[in-house]
């Protein structure tokens, strides 16, 4: 969906910029006399080299449209990209028994996206244990809840109140 928005944005602004370009430069494209005075022998490119003049006109229009589409498509990436702090985290959780590995659970996966304010630090490998995980956040910031949302939509989110 974001890609489609970016294409529409780019297309619309390319058309608008081309209309402005055309309103400024259309007199050059319809001109019957354009003297190239920097040549050894100055000449009228429109009448003396009509094929070259048509190639120049067509290629300038194509280049203008193509380059502006790329420009607006690049700008749209900044406009439609996610906000700073929106980080996607994926989790895999498995219950492990100490004495009978055949009773271990299957892996469960979960994915969550943080809000625009990110106070959590990324857990290191040492923070993740078989039955627990240590979470930490920036000093001076107050966390009141940790909500775990399973990827399986039939399961309810689990909320932990931080005391």
Per-residue model confidence as pLDDT tens digits over 99-152: 888 888 888 888 887 766 667 788 888 888 887 888 888 888 877 888 877 777
Return the HEC string of 91-152. EEECCCCCCCHHHCCCCEEEEEECCCCCCECCCCHHHECCCCECCCECCCCCCCEEEECCCC
Q: How far is CA 51 from the centre of its chain?
A: 42
Torsion angle, alpha carbons of 67, 68, 71, 76, to 10: -140
Beta bridge partners of 133: 128
Beta bridge partners of 145: 161
Q: What is the reported pLDDT for 86?
A: 67
Q: Which of 62-66, 87-91, 150-154 has the highest mean pLDDT?
A: 62-66
Q: Indicate whether 80 pLDDT > 80.
A: no
């Amino acid at each position: 969906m974001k890609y489609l928005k970016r294409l529409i944005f780019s297309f619309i602004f390319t058309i608008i910029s081309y209309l402005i370009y055309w309103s400024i430069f259309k007199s050059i494209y319809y001109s019957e006399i354009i003297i190239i005075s920097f040549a050894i022998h100055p000449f009228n490119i429109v009448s003396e080299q009509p094929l070259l003049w048509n190639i120049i006109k067509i290629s300038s229009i194509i280049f203008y449209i193509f380059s502006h589409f790329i420009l607006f498509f690049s700008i749209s990436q900044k406009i439609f990209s996610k906000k700073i702090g929106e980080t996607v985290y994926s989790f895999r959780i498995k219950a492990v028994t100490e004495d009978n590995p055949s009773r271990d659970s299957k892996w469960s996966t979960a994915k969550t996206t943080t809000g625009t304010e990110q106070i959590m630090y990324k857990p290191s490998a040492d923070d993740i244990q078989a039955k627990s995980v240590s979470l930490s956040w920036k000093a001076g910031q107050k966390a009141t809840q940790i909500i775990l949302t399973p990827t399986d939509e039939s399961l309810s989110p689990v909320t932990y109140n931080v005391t």
